[in-house]
Amino acid sequence: MNFDKDIQDNTTIFGKILRGEIPAEKLYEDDYVLAFKDIMPKARVHVLVIPKKCIQDLRVAGPEDAEILGHMMCKISEIAKLAGLDKGGFRIISNNGEHSGQEVPHLHLHLLGGEFLPKF
Ligand code: AMP
């Protein structure tokens, strides 16, 4: 799969990061996903994992996204290891839509850890 057009069309701040127009502290990148440090960390370690395909959030994801979403989930263990989260563990959060407080309308997983997190 090639996501060059999605990356060009992505009007969000994450599109700018994908295109290299603004800097980000990247941890991992492949043809499908990019992982980078959150600019306003909500835990000692806070990484965002995003698909390169334009998917606003999980409300609009469908069977056609199975491959890229599966890839994202399967890469979490590798990204967590790169972030130093493999031993202590981590939490994944995904905000979807207005009620969740989603600010950036491009699907992303928050990967949080590096300390004991408040009980959810
Ligand atoms: P959400 O509220 O779930 O949409 O999360 C958006 C996240 O993107 C927030 O945690 C922000 O701190 C983060 N964020 C926004 N702009 C940037 C940026 N330029 N680099 C890294 N993270 C960002």
For the stretch 49-94, pLDDT in tens is 999 999 999 999 999 999 999 999 999 999 999 999 999 999 999 9
pLDDT band at 8 (very low <50, low <70, confident <90, very high): very high
pLDDT of residue 105: 98
Q: Across residues 18-39, what is the average pLDDT?
A: 98
Q: Is 67 helix (H, G, I), strand (E, B) or coil?
A: helix
Catalytically active residues, by annotation:
108
Residue 82 to residues 9, 36, 85, 103: CA-CA distances in angstroms? 29, 11, 8, 26
Q: Output the CA 104–ligand 1 centroid distance in Å.
A: 7
Inform me whether the pLDDT recorded for 1 exceeds 90. Answer: no
Q: Is the CB of 56 under 6 A from ligand 1?
A: no
Mean pLDDT of the chain, nearest integer: 98
Choice from 99, 104, 106, 107 to test ligand 1 binding pocket (greatest atom count within 8 A of CB): 104
Q: Which residues pair with 2 in a beta bridge?
A: none
Q: Output the CA 62–ligand 1 centroid distance in Å.
A: 24
Q: Is 82 left (phi over 0), alpha (psi -120 to 50) or beta?
A: alpha
What's the order of all strands across the beta sheet hosting 45-51? 26-29, 33-37, 45-51, 109-113, 90-93
